[in-house]
Amino acid sequence: MSKRFLSLVLLLASAHLAEALQQPKKVPRIALVAFGTSEADNRRQKVFLQSLRDLGWIEQQDISIERRYANESYGQLVDIATELVRLRVDVIVVRDSVAIRPVMQSTKTIPIVMAVSGDPVAAASSIAWHGQAGT
């Protein structure tokens, strides 16, 4: 291998490395979906954010959170689910059992985490899970 060829390979590799180092870090996006209002979800929101901080995740530094509230409208849940799929969020956290079905029907690829109060087994039992990304 000639010195000229080796120099060219090293130059290209270093240019690629420099470019890779300059690219912004991908910040994971979490979507939170609640059937109610933002005011009603305030306490759960604080606990969720504190739990993320305890794990070393800081909003607007390490993660981005897309919050969506249906204001107790099932029709809005369908629109919210469609929007979040279009935004290509990394994971969807569903806050209420009523929101599970429209979110699961909107995607088979985005992981869905059910953080519901009440009986999640009963909520999930009415949903066909085959091929879904729900947890």
Please tell me the predicted confidence (pLDDT) of residue 85. Answer: 95
Question: Are the beta carbons of 51 and 43 closer than 8 angstroms?
Answer: no
Q: State the pLDDT at residue 135.
A: 46
pLDDT digits (tens, 9 = 90+) for 67-102: 999 999 999 999 999 999 999 999 998 888 888 889
- Return the residue matching tokens 């699961």: 104
Q: What are the helix (H) ranges across the chain?
A: 3-22, 42-54, 74-87, 100-106, 120-125
Helices (H) and strands (E) in the chain, counts: 5, 4
- Let me know: does 117 contact 94? Beta carbons within 8 Å: no
Point out the residues of the chain with pLDDT beneath 70: 1-23, 116-135
Fold classified for 26-125: Rossmann fold (3.40.50)
Cα–Cα distance list, 32 to 16, 59, 61, 65 (Å) = 37, 13, 18, 7
pTM of the model: 0.71
Q: What is the pLDDT of residue 71?
A: 95
Sketch the domain layout of the chain as residue ranges: 26-125
